[in-house]
Copies of this chain bind each other. A is one copy, B any other.
Amino acid sequence: MRMAELSERSGTPVPTIKYYLREGLLPRGERTGRNQARYSEEHLRRLRLVRALTDVGGLPIAAVREILSRVDSPGTSTHRLLGHTLASLPPPVKESGDVDEEDVKRVQDMAGRLGWHVYPGTRKAIALAEVVATYRRAGHPLSDTVLDRYAAVAEHTARVDLDVIAGISETDEILESTVVHIVLGDTLMAVLRRLAQTNESARRSGAVADDG
């Protein structure tokens, strides 16, 4: 297909496609004339993956390039690739740097109680310490019991996430689907949680849900 068709089928503007070509995120098409090239279904698939990683996943170009180079290197196992992509996705919290020793320790203690591997100093561990600190500063500190219960629910969610991803077989598809599910999943869970709260609150009071 010509670039115009690639643009239309992927919903990506032509200047963006040209930018990806220059940055090496998308391989060049097969040259068919002085100013023309032909693109394949392979290009379309790769383009969709790049869009998912940048637009949905919010990854910087350098991180996308690294993930793609792993996709293309023979012998990279799907699980390593998946692990790397999961690790690259930025945690959905702004880093304020306003975290105490105490918050960092609480994250490590929680990981210990649950048998999770959480390396101190990594972005995700710091992100969790930030959230724990925010509760504390808002005057409603999370108890260990409550934190552990939420973590147990998160473990259930992650199992659903990984099951969904495991059902997909093409490497490009796995990564694209991972990014879409992980990132959109935050909003999905937040909305479902609101509905479930209203419902659970009504159930406990014996009333019908007063859903606004």
Contacts and interface: CB of A to CB of B under 8 A. Distances in A.
A154 to B, nearest CB: 4
A182 B196 CA distance: 12
Interface residues of A, number: 83
A91 interface: yes
A197 B182 contact: yes
B186 A122 contact: no
B79 A187 contact: no
Number of copies: 2
Contacts of A159: 200
A205 B84 CA distance: 12
Nearest to A89: B194
A193 B157 contact: yes
A19 B187 CA distance: 33
B158 A202 contact: no
Interface in A156-206: 156-164, 166, 176-177, 180-182, 184-202, 204-205
B93 A187 contact: yes
A162 B200 contact: yes
B92 A191 contact: yes
B131 A212 contact: no
B83 A202 contact: yes
A209 interface: yes
Interface of A: 48, 52, 56, 77, 79-80, 82-84, 86-89, 91-93, 111, 116-119, 122-125, 127-128, 131, 134-135, 138-140, 142, 146, 149-151, 153-164, 166, 176-177, 180-182, 184-202, 204-205, 207-212
Nearest 5 A/B pairs, CB to CB: A87-B212, A79-B205, A154-B192, A158-B196, A117-B209
20 contacts: A80-B205, A80-B207, A86-B194, A87-B211, A111-B195, A116-B199, A122-B212, A124-B198, A127-B191, A127-B194, A131-B191, A135-B180, A135-B184, A142-B188, A146-B160, A150-B188, A153-B160, A154-B193, A161-B200, A190-B190
